[in-house]
Amino acid sequence: MNLLEFQNVSFSYAENQILRDVSLSIRRGQLVAIMGGSGSGKTTLLKLIGGQLQAQQGAVWLDGQNVGQLNEHDLYQMRRKLGMLFQFGALFTDLSVFDNVAFPLRERTQLPESMIKDLVLMKLEAVGLRGAAQQMPHELSGGMARRVALARAIALDPAVMLYDEPFTGLDPISLATVGKLIRELNDALGTASIVVTHDVAESLAIVDYVYFLADGCVVAEGTPAEVKASTHPFVQQFIHARPDGPLPFHKPAVPYAEQLGLTC
């Protein structure tokens, strides 16, 4: 069953077209990567899922609900099904590790503190940081902070997990650790997960399926094996980090000589 689905979605800011007729689907238990260059529409896609933006054409469906047609009350109820790992963790700097993970449980449930304590320690144990429960965010390394943010994101056992560039700024060991945790937690929770990322090697090692966005469109898709074997020009440029190709190095402009006034 598709837990999340985009059906011919288009969106623009004024005259700037961001997404063009985008269709994709994610099943329960599936881990999917969304890849593309800067400005290709990846962040807009996440905002459409959370209801921060509404599709101007097409529909975004989450667990059988059309996100764009939900009223304010139903939208907030729908968001309870979402977990979000922000690019740099976005931990509350004045709260301890324990209180950061406890925050969504205290805000969204009526559970007693004794049960919240057990759940927080369970989530921290899942990311290997139960021993850091009383530390403050400024005492953590970048990799540890990202893992605490992951524990907070899964505190309510979300149906859908959204990862916004989860590997940015991590050293190789922390990157591999976070990637392993994303895969393991996805399988353990049975969520539908979207990883928006530029990290080709780590992503292809953990995901089930990949969608490539360019100029607001899905230009290619497939399993990691299919992607690696693809001869599609954009896929080749992206996974091999070539500076020029379908995404050109030079932004279109008038001829250089003409702009310098050197033409006859």
- Could you give the CA distance from residue 234 to residue 36 in angstroms, rounded to a whole number? 9
| Predicted local distance difference test score (pLDDT) of residue 227 | 82
HSE, CB side, 13 Å, CA atoms: give it for residue 150: 30
Element (H, E) at 164: strand 160-164
- Could you give the CA distance from residue 167 to residue 230 in angstroms, rounded to a whole number? 24
Q: Please state, as a whole number, how many other Cβ atoms lie within 10 Å of the Cβ of residue 121.
A: 15
- Could you give the CA distance from residue 179 to residue 167 in angstroms, rounded to a whole number? 8
Of 51, 50, 58, the residue nearest 11 (C-alpha): 58
- Could you give the CA distance from residue 79 to residue 233 in angstroms, rounded to a whole number? 37
Element (H, E) at 38: none
Q: What are the start-end ranges of the H helices in 128-207? A: 142-153, 172-189, 200-206
* Residue 35 token pair: 């890849």
Element (H, E) at 76: helix 72-79
Maximum pairwise Cα distance, the chain: 82
* Residue 83 token pair: 């977990």
Q: What phi and psi values does residue 189 have, to the nearest 5 degrees?
A: -90, -20
Number of structural domains in the chain: 1
Series of mean pLDDT values for 10-residue runs along the chain (264 residues) = 88 85 90 82 87 88 89 88 81 91 89 91 88 90 87 88 83 84 87 86 87 84 85 77 69 80 72
Which range of residues forms the domain containing residue 129?
A: 2-260
Of 239, 230, 235, the residue nearest 214 (C-alpha): 235
Q: What is the DSSP letter of 53?
A: S
| Predicted local distance difference test score (pLDDT) of residue 264 | 60
- Could you give the CA distance from residue 205 to residue 186 in angstroms, rounded to a whole number? 14
- Enter the pTM of the model: 0.81
Q: What CATH number does the domain containing 98 carry? A: 3.40.50.300
β-bridge pairing 57-62 and 65-66: antiparallel
| Predicted local distance difference test score (pLDDT) of residue 61 | 92
- Could you give the CA distance from residue 111 to residue 105 in angstroms, rounded to a whole number? 8
Cβ pair 17, 174 in contact under 8 A: no
